[in-house]
Amino acid sequence: MLQITCLNKSYGNHRALRDIDMSVPSGVVFGLLGPNGAGKTTLIRIVNQIIEQDSGEVELDGKTLSPSDIRKIGYLPEERGLYKKMKVWDQLLYFAQLKDLPPNEAKLQIKSWLEKLDLGAWKDKKIEDLSKGMAQKVQFISTVIHRPSLLILDEPFSGFDPVNAEIIKNEILELKEKGTTVILSTHRMESVELLCDHVAMINRSRKILDGTIQQVKNSFRPEVFEITLTQLKQPIPPEWIPKQAEDLWHFSLPLSGKSPNQLLSELMELGEVLVFREKIPSMEEIFIHQVKAKANE
């Protein structure tokens, strides 16, 4: 749906994006990851046409991005911005009309979203009278009210308690089910694991990783197995550093060139194998590993 080719952007002498290629498939939740200052917001601002790239191409649905595409995009910026003195209803109507939604349709949409997010009773309140979480919900509605086909969410869960974060997470998944493509920029790796189908990571202005969650995880498999034995027939070699809890022995072993079946049959000689499970790295572990590895280059 979104095709980014050889995108470059500098602020003065500082290169914020360097030769970025990225392809966001239609109908997925696409995680845009990277440490602070990596260049994510710069990329998002270019897609939203807030700033312009120095070189490179951004295509939406196969055509070079143009000002009229703004209606197809919903953008929730990290720095939230609502008019504090304006009432909830008036504000949402204003934002809907900015995105060319006819007033009658806008009113229907606003009513349905306010009810859905439990804000119906607050429609005539000013934003300054709402709690932070409620205001965040209003901002979320203002982002999706015009039914964008591409939704760009920058840290959408910040300011929400766990219950409301869950509500927003489910809304994002529902929008995806209805065909919306979502770009999610977040530092919360547990949200990435839960929501994203595909991820790309930017570090120091360059893209360093790209693929489905499964592909990314597969490429970082350390080929190490977590093992639990009981009823030992032979002592466990001390260099495996086993931890004993009553008659259970826990330790980890690398494959070291063996197949999983070979390793398993060797372990069966030692005792009853209760657990034999490959260690799969979490997205958090992959993120930290990648950022540290690049810092040491």
Ligand X SMILES: Nc1ncnc2c1ncn2[C@@H]1O[C@H](COP(=O)(O)OP(=O)(O)OP(=O)(O)O)[C@@H](O)[C@H]1O
Please say which residue, 14 or 243, places its beta carbon nearer to ligand X: 14
DSSP 187: S
Answer whether 152's CB lies under 8 Å from 75's CB.
yes
Question: Quick check: 41 binds ligand X (CB under 6 A)?
Answer: yes
Number of residues that bind ligand X (CB under 6 A): 11
Please say which residue, 16 or 168, places its beta carbon nearer to ligand X: 16
Placement of tokens 């991005």 in the chain = 65
Q: Which two tokens stand for residue 51?
A: 């700033």
- CB 50 → ligand X: shortest distance, Å? 10
Contact residue for ligand X among 11, 79, 259, 297 (CB under 6 A): 11
Question: Quick check: 33 binds ligand X (CB under 6 A)?
Answer: no
Q: How many CA atoms lie within 13 A of 230 on its CB side?
A: 6
Kindly indicate which of the ranges 22-30, 39-47, 93-101, 289-297 contains the residues binding ligand X, using the contact rule CB under 6 A.
39-47
Contact residue for ligand X among 2, 38, 117, 138 (CB under 6 A): 38
Distance in angstroms (rounded) separating the CA atoms of residues 57 and 85: 40
Answer whether 168's CB lies under 8 Å from 182's CB.
no
Question: Quick check: 156 binds ligand X (CB under 6 A)?
Answer: no
Contact residue for ligand X among 1, 7, 30, 42 (CB under 6 A): 42
3-state secondary structure of 121: helix
Distance in angstroms (rounded) separating the CA atoms of residues 8 and 20: 7
Distance in angstroms (rounded) separating the CA atoms of residues 150 and 293: 33
Please say which residue, 28 or 291, places its beta carbon nearer to ligand X: 291
- CB 172 → ligand X: shortest distance, Å? 19
Please say which residue, 46 or 168, places its beta carbon nearer to ligand X: 46
Question: Quick check: 68 binds ligand X (CB under 6 A)?
Answer: no
Contact residue for ligand X among 1, 7, 16, 141 (CB under 6 A): 16
- CB 54 → ligand X: shortest distance, Å? 13
Question: Quick check: 14 binds ligand X (CB under 6 A)?
Answer: yes
Question: Quick check: 203 binds ligand X (CB under 6 A)?
Answer: no
Q: What is the dihedral of CA 22, 37, 191, 283, to 10 degrees?
A: 70
Question: Quick check: 290 binds ligand X (CB under 6 A)?
Answer: no
Question: Quick check: 40 binds ligand X (CB under 6 A)?
Answer: yes
Burial group, residue 203, by CB count within 10 angstroms (0-12, 13-18, 19+): buried
Please say which residue, 85 or 292, places its beta carbon nearer to ligand X: 292
Q: What is the dihedral of CA 152, 158, 160, 163, to 10 degrees?
A: 70
Distance in angstroms (rounded) separating the CA atoms of residues 229 and 248: 6
Which residues sit at the interface with ligand X, rule CB under 6 A? 11, 14, 16, 34, 36-42
